[in-house]
Amino acid sequence: MKLSDRRFQSSFVFLAIFLLLALFASQAASSAQTKNSPANKGAGAFATGRYRNLFAEAGHSEQEISTKIDAAFQQLFHGDPDTQSVVFFVGKNANGPLAYLTDWANHDARTEGMSYGMMIAVQMNKKEEFDALWNWTKTYMYISDPSHPSYGYFSWSCKPDGTPNEETAAPDGEEYFVMALYFAANRWGNGEGIYNYKAQADELLTTMRHREEKTGPTRFGPRTVGAEVNEEAKMIRFVPVINRADFTDPSYHLPAFYELWARWGPVADRDFWAQAATVSRTFFVKTADPKTGLAPAYANFDGTPRVTRFSQSSIFGYDSWRTASNWSVDWSWWRASPEEQELSNRIQAFFLSQGLSKYGDQYALDGKQVAARHSTGLVATNAVASLAATNPSAKEFVKALWDSPVPSGQQRYYDGMLYLMSMLHCSGRFRILKPQ
């Protein structure tokens, strides 16, 4: 063999070894990335684009479903102001029309309701209503003073004239604002100023995680306010007020949204939101009662009920209605946690045992009834649990929602928002609005 041949052969061997090492390194990096990446299950709606239509499965036509949902929107957003509507248009400012969505029974506007209204509007392609609600929110609820301890957040409750009833945030409102804004950016594109939806969502989501602790006066006394997430627990807080006890609200956990933030949100925080989604799925199993499936209104980060001065804190209360809906939508979109199916089966079995047409709306976690009102809002979220449930009786919960009238009167705010969002979920019309 010639010297030149040996040199060529040696170079070839070194090249082959180099390529093999590069391949192994690439596979190792890919494995590490996959370990910390968002869920990418192939069977969920995110991957397939297919959403279950529980009403169609029950035999209702698309026209019937559209008529029913459109009528509910018209009633709750544009109906009789004394008995039906929860949305009120109140003039204009430099950014355009203004509208607020009110808790009729308590005579206030809440970030919870404003963000729900925006989510319903973007899902139903109602840009005028969306922009008017967002404009009122930014005009009256947003805390823009850099010296204020809640700077960058929204006052969770305001009077209809915009005067704050509180100057701290309730993170469930911020969560829905962020998600609704990303969906708006993807559906309609971005405008200028407050209507640059993606920029607004990115800014708020960054604030939610990274807001440094700030102490200062409010009209309700001094506060120290920090991030809306507990970094160590990787969970959303009940409130970001640092000088109060630190705990969470199970109904604030939205892993279906976190997965999208892990893809669309600020790049530096994407891994955090992917981890938060996984943590919340595990948390649902810990916090839901192993026999009844009922989750407490407030919980410690280990899932145990949190006892506070509020009467509903450690029971299945008003906030708790949303928890089963949250884990069921997560299953529908991502199929990342089969335990969510078991949870839906469990909670539906409990309410079936209480009587489908008469169960109450508040319970101790062991199943002892606390309040007897049969609330449309709970009927609605129990129907959404059918997206994950596998028991044959799941269709009965869907029928119960279909047969329920659109909420009106004194309790039309919370019942109505949950009713309309649940109608969208159960019809397969509450969708992941992806970037174009």
From residue 360, how far is each of 367, 375, 379 by CA, in Å?
10, 7, 10
Q: Are residues 242 and 290 in the same domain?
A: no
From residue 162, how far is each of 89, 159, 228, 399 by CA, in Å?
13, 5, 23, 39
Residue 211 predicted with pLDDT over 60: yes
pLDDT grade, residue 372 (50/70/90)? very high
Q: Are residues 70 and 159 in the same domain?
A: yes
How far apart, in whole angstroms, are the C-alpha atoms of residue 436 and residue 225?
A: 37
Tens of pLDDT along 52-68? 999 999 999 999 999 99
Last residue of a domain, one of 246, 269, 298: 246
Last residue of a domain, one of 231, 246, 261: 246
Let me know if residue 17 belongs to a domain.
no
Residue the block writes with tokens 């969770």: 156
How many separate domains does the chain show?
A: 2
Three-state SS annotation for the chain: CCHHHHHHHHHHHHHHHHHHHHHHHHHHHHHHHHHHCCCCCCCCHHHHCCCCCHHHHCCCCHHHHHHHHHHHHHHHHHCCCCCCCCEEEEEEECCEEEEEEEECCCCEEEHHHHHHHHHHHHHCCCHHHHHHHHHHHHHHHECCCCCCCCCCCECCEECCCCCECCCCCCHHHHHHHHHHHHHHHHHHCCCCHHHCHHHHHHHHHHHHHHCCCEEECCCCCCEEECCCEECCCCEECCCCECCCCCCECHHHCCHHHHHHHHHHCCHHHHHHHHHHHHHHHHHHHHHCCCCCCCCCCCECCCCCECCCCCCCCCCECCCCHHHHHHHHHHHHHHCCCCHHHHHHHHHHHHHHHCCCCCCCCEECCCCCEEECCCCHHHHHHHHHHHHCCCCCCHHHHHHHHHHCCCCCHHHHHHHHHHHHHHHHHHCCCCCCCCCC
Q: Are residues 215 and 93 in the same domain?
A: yes
Let me know if residue 255 belongs to a domain.
no
Determine the pLDDT at residue 103.
96
Residue 12 predicted with pLDDT over 70: no
Tens of pLDDT along 239-288? 999 877 899 999 999 999 999 999 999 999 999 999 999 999 999 999 99
Residue 35 predicted with pLDDT over 80: no
Let me know if residue 258 belongs to a domain.
no
Please state the rounded mean pLDDT for residues 393-400. 98
From residue 308, how far is each of 234, 236, 337 by CA, in Å?
22, 18, 30
Q: Are residues 316 and 393 in the same domain?
A: yes
Catalytic status, residue 319: yes
How far apart, in whole angstroms, are the C-alpha atoms of residue 398 and residue 345?
A: 14
Determine the pLDDT at residue 342.
98
Q: Are residues 332 and 227 in the same domain?
A: no
Determine the pLDDT at residue 138.
98
Determine the pLDDT at residue 17.
39
Q: Are residues 86 and 182 in the same domain?
A: yes
Q: Are residues 174 and 319 in the same domain?
A: no
Residue from 108, 112, 202, 259 carrying the catalytic annotation: 112
Last residue of a domain, one of 246, 268, 295: 246
Q: Are residues 290 and 156 in the same domain?
A: no
Q: Are residues 242 and 291 in the same domain?
A: no
Determine the pLDDT at residue 25.
40
Determine the pLDDT at residue 39.
66
Residue the block writes with tokens 């102001």: 81
User: Whole domain around residue 355: which residue ranges?
Assistant: 286-426
Determine the pLDDT at residue 13.
38
Note whether 371 and 362 are within 8 A (CB).
yes
Catalytic status, residue 129: no
What mean pLDDT value characterizes the chain?
Answer: 91
Q: Are residues 139 and 242 in the same domain?
A: yes
Residue 32 predicted with pLDDT over 60: no
Residue 390: which of 322, 325, 343, 334 has the closest Cα? Answer: 343
Residue 3 predicted with pLDDT over 90: no
Q: Are residues 241 and 350 in the same domain?
A: no
Query: 313 versus 104: which is more confidently predicted?
Result: 104
The pair of three-digit structure tokens given for residue 223, joined into one six-digit string: 């506060």
Determine the pLDDT at residue 4.
37
Residue 14 predicted with pLDDT over 50: no
Residue 289 predicted with pLDDT over 70: yes
Determine the pLDDT at residue 432.
98
Determine the pLDDT at residue 315.
96
Let me know if residue 192 belongs to a domain.
yes
Determine the pLDDT at residue 232.
97
Please state the rounded mean pLDDT for residues 338-365. 98
Which CATH number belongs to the domain containing residue 324 in this structure?
A: 1.50.10.10
Q: Are residues 84 and 207 in the same domain?
A: yes
What proportion of the chain, given as a percentage, has pLDDT over 70? 90
Q: Indicate the range of 144-153, 288-297, 304-313, 353-362 predicted with least confidence.
A: 304-313
Let me know if residue 53 belongs to a domain.
no
The pair of three-digit structure tokens given for residue 143, joined into one six-digit string: 């805390």
Residue 358 predicted with pLDDT over 50: yes
Residue from 249, 319, 330, 340 carrying the catalytic annotation: 319
